Amino acid sequence: MTSAGRRRGLVRPYVITDGRAHPTRNTLDLVTLVIAARGETGGLSPEKRRVMELCRGGALSLAEVAGHLRIPVSVTKVLLSDLVDSGHIVTRSPIPSAELPEPAILQEVLDGLRARL
Amino acid sequence: MTRHIPEAVFWCLLAGALAVVVLLIRQRQISARLRRSVASLEDSVRSRDEEVRHLATVRLPALMEAGPHQPAGAPGLLHGHLAGSEYANSLKMVSDLFSRAAQTAQARADQSAKAALMASMRALQGLANEQQLAISEMQERHDNPDVLQDLLAIDHTNAQFGRRAQAIAVLCGSWPGRQRAASSLEDVVRGATSRIRDYRRVEVHAQVEVAVVSRAVEPVVLTVAELLDNAARHSQPNTTVQVNLQPAHNGTAIVIDDAGVGLIEQEIRRATELLTGAGQSVDITRLGDPPQFGFAAIGVLAARYGFSVSVDTRSPYGGVRAVVFLPSALLAPVPDEGADSVRTRAPSTARHAAPKRPSGPVAVPELVPESDGAQPSGAEPAPVYGSTAGGLPKRRRRQPLTEPAAAAERPAPEAPQGRSAQDAAAIIGAFARGTRSGRASSSDHEGNPHT
């Protein structure tokens, strides 16, 4: 068993969220990007401090935060919405699909790559 | 002559009377002595009767009651004057035999009770752990907050259930169970918080950056959980339980304060006895009704792992202050989370990166055949040594001798003039780290390992 597996399960999710399962906002999803807005982490729980440390380096998606913290995504949502409420982080929705490149261009790139390799 | 006859008769009679009187007096004396001796014998028999009754009704039950631990307080002889007599010695033999038999019977009963309890608790513990895994998986799988809310409640109950089973199993001589990685003291305390009913009333104030070594994590978690449970259970629902972590010269103390009713003198004495392991083997039939396993289990753990627990101080809030002192032997520096995450990710990246390291920068073109999955584990195309009977090429293990040779000649063409060996090593190291972290992060973004 890896050390991650052994560490998992020591602090249970209900302690992390203080028994809450409903995030204070329902605008968060797996690809929501999270960015640290404040530097200080005083008075935060260890998980929230970790989130702040992770986000200080730049934007991270919610799914990545959950992966780094090794806690379920739904629990991460509760944590992150708390942090948004306290002003420690800001969220940014991912680039909307309209701004994504055209499928045709992607197909061309794919074809070109295939031709080269 | 005839005048002398009555005189003679008189003297004879007088002598006879005297003899009778003397005899009577002797007889009287003898009978008095006999009476006295009968009385004393009667007395003695009565006292022995009483003594036997005392033995049967008072002393033996007291011995049975006292158990093997405090034979000193047993009542002695009823009649002190019998002490040292043959009779008293026989009685002593009887009571000794009795207490020995009682002890043996008790030890055997204790042992079998413990064995039965331990086996059943181990089974329950296993089930609780299994269920916890299942709950964790469900928490990962379901995204609906309503479902999560229910799962959290089930998880919480399951954790308490596991703790109860674990405490009883430990008390019966079992090991605390799960092996865990070294964890920071704060996580250990919060892990303990996870296992009690009123976890929301516990406030942890962490001022120390120290971790508990792997083997002591579970025992310390269980100990703190039992103390927190006591603290929360014996205080009002609207009060909080304060946990402070205090660094000390040769260890760290976990201080748990509650604002509850506190312990009375007698309870403190009893608790101290259990916590310091003064009673040695704990008698599970004497834990009260309902049985209180907490302190006894903590005592067993403290003795086994070498930390100490005390509850004999009053907390500033009027309740109990429980102090768990962990000596330095059970502590370690906090494990680096970053290093840990790299290490756990290593299996996916190392599979590709590790075999390539000897070939250095030349590895880049080799990624191509590897990436379409034709060659697992990225081995260099090995020289072919003949073929099998089926016509397939036969590959031989690479000779370990060639690697150092290749490593020795590599830096020469690669390093430009005027660069020291350390510089070259640092550059190559940085390059290797860069490629590794690049691959690691790319595998994270795509959510699947880089193949």
Looking at the structure, do residues B186 and B315 belong to the same domain, yes or no? Answer: yes
Using the CB atoms, write b or e for B104-119: b if 16+ within 10 Å. eeeeeebeeebeebbe
- How does DSSP assign B123-146, residue by residue? HHHHHHHHHHHHHHHHHHH---HH
Map tokens 């999270």 to a residue.
A34
Q: Flag whether the ipTM exceeds 0.90.
A: no
Strand B241-248 to strand B202-205: parallel, antiparallel, or no bridges (unpaired)?
A: parallel
Q: How many domains does chain B have?
A: 3
H or E element: which one contains B395?
strand B393-395
Task: Using 70 as the pLDDT threshold, list the residues of chain B that sit under it.
Answer: 1-2, 67-74, 278-286, 288-289, 336-419, 441-451
Q: Say yes or no: B327 and B209 in one domain.
A: yes
Residue of A nearest to B444 (CA): A64
Q: How many domains does chain A have?
A: 1
Looking at the structure, do residues B292 and B351 belong to the same domain, yes or no? no
Q: Which helix (H) or strand (E) holds B12?
A: helix B4-54
- Domain check: are B188 and B264 in the same one? yes
How many contiguous H segments (helices) and E segments (strands) does chain A have? 6, 3
pLDDT at B148: 92
Kindly state whether residues B189 and B294 are assigned to the same domain.
yes
B304 and B245 assigned to the same domain = yes
What are residue B313's DSSP bridge partners? Answer: B321
B384 falls within a domain: no
Using a CB cutoff of 8 Å and minimum separation of 24, what contacts does B82-88 make? Answer: B82/B47, B82/B48, B82/B51, B87/B48, B87/B51
Q: Crossing angle, helix B265-275 and helix B294-305, to 10 degrees?
A: 40
What confidence tens digit (pLDDT) does each residue in A62-115 have?
A: 999 999 988 999 999 999 999 999 989 988 877 666 666 788 888 999 999 999
B226 contacts B298 by C-beta, under 8 angstroms: yes
Indicate whether B243 belongs to any domain: yes
Q: Are B261 and B358 part of one and the same domain?
A: no
- Is residue B290 reached through a cis peptide bond, with omega within 30 degrees of 0 on the bond before it? yes
Give me B130's structure tokens. Answer: 């299994």
pLDDT in tens, B168-210: 999 888 888 778 888 899 999 999 999 999 999 999 988 788 9
| Distance, CA of B287 to CA of B6 (rounded, Å) | 99
Six token digits for residue A1? 């068993």
CA angle A99–A105–A109, rounded 5-degree value: 125
**Shortest CA gap A63–chain B (Å):** 10
> Is B34 in the same domain as B52?
yes
Q: In B, which residues are within 8 Å of A8 by CB distance? A: 136
Give the model's pLDDT for residue B350: 39
Q: How distant is the Cα of A14 from the closest Cα of chain B, in angstroms? A: 6
In-domain check, residue B224 = yes
Containing structural domain, residue B196:
182-332
Residues of B in contact with A13 (CB under 8 A): 139, 152, 155
Q: B314-335: string of b/e by CB count within 10 Å (b at 16+)?
A: ebebebbbbbbbbeeebbbebb
User: What is the predicted pLDDT for the residue at B312?
Assistant: 86
In a domain, B274, yes or no: yes
DSSP A93: P
Peptide bond connecting B369 to the previous residue in cis, omega within 30 degrees of 0: no
Instruction: Based on the fold, state whether residues B353 and B282 are members of the same structural domain.
Output: no
Tell whether B438 and B349 lie within a shared domain. yes
As given in the structure block, the two tokens for residue A55 are 């986000």
> Mutate which of A2, A3, A12 to test chain B, going by most B C-beta atoms within 10 A?
A12
Could you count the other beta carbons within 10 Å of the beta carbon of residue B292? 15
d(CA B375, CA B355): 13
3-state secondary structure of A35: strand
Establish if B382 belongs to a structural domain. no
Enumerate chain B positions whose Cβ falls within 8 A of a Cβ in A: 132-133, 136, 139-140, 142-146, 148-149, 151-153, 155-156, 159, 178-181, 183-184, 186-188, 190-191, 193-194, 199-200, 206, 217, 221, 335, 337, 340-341, 343-344, 368, 444
DSSP letters spanning B241-252: EEEEEEEETTEE
Contacts of residue B58, defined as CB under 8 A and 6 or more positions apart, other chains included, come to: B75
Please enumerate in sequence order all residues whose Cβ is within 8 A of that of B70, keeping only pairs 6 or more positions apart, or say none: none
Q: Give yes or no for A10 touching B (CB within 8 A).
A: yes
How many angstroms separate the CA atoms of B225 and B194, rounded?
8
Is B159 inside a domain boundary?
no
Does residue B327 sit in the same domain as residue B231?
Answer: yes
Give the start-end residues of each E strand in B214-361: 241-248, 251-257, 308-314, 320-327, 331-332
Among the candidates B307, B332, B357, a domain finishes at: B332
Query: Whole-angstrom Cα distance, residue B254 to residue B448?
Result: 42
Show the tokens assigned to A84.
């948004």
Q: How far apart are CA B354 and CA B333, in angstroms?
A: 29
Q: What is the pLDDT of residues A17-56, one digit of tens each?
A: 999 999 988 888 888 888 888 878 888 888 898 889 888 8
Q: Are B428 and B309 contained in the same domain?
A: no
DSSP E strand boundaries for B208-250: 211-212, 241-248
Residue B23 lies in a domain: yes
Q: How many CB atoms lie within 10 A of CB B64?
A: 14
Distance CA B173, CA B115 (A): 9
User: Does residue B93 fall inside a structural domain?
Assistant: no
* Parent domain of A31: 3-116
- The single-letter DSSP state of residue A95 is P
Q: Do B344 and A2 touch (CB under 8 A)?
A: yes
SS3 B401: coil
C-alpha–C-alpha distance, residues B149 and B172, integer Å? 35
> Are the Cβ atoms of A10 and B199 closer than 8 angstroms?
no
What's residue B263's pLDDT? 86
The full length of chain B comes to 451
Given strand A89-92, what is the order of strands in its sheet? A60-61, A33-36, A89-92
Query: Could you tell me the two tokens for B345?
Result: 């990710």
B360 CB-contact burial (10 Å; exposed 0-12 / middle 13-18 / buried 19+): middle
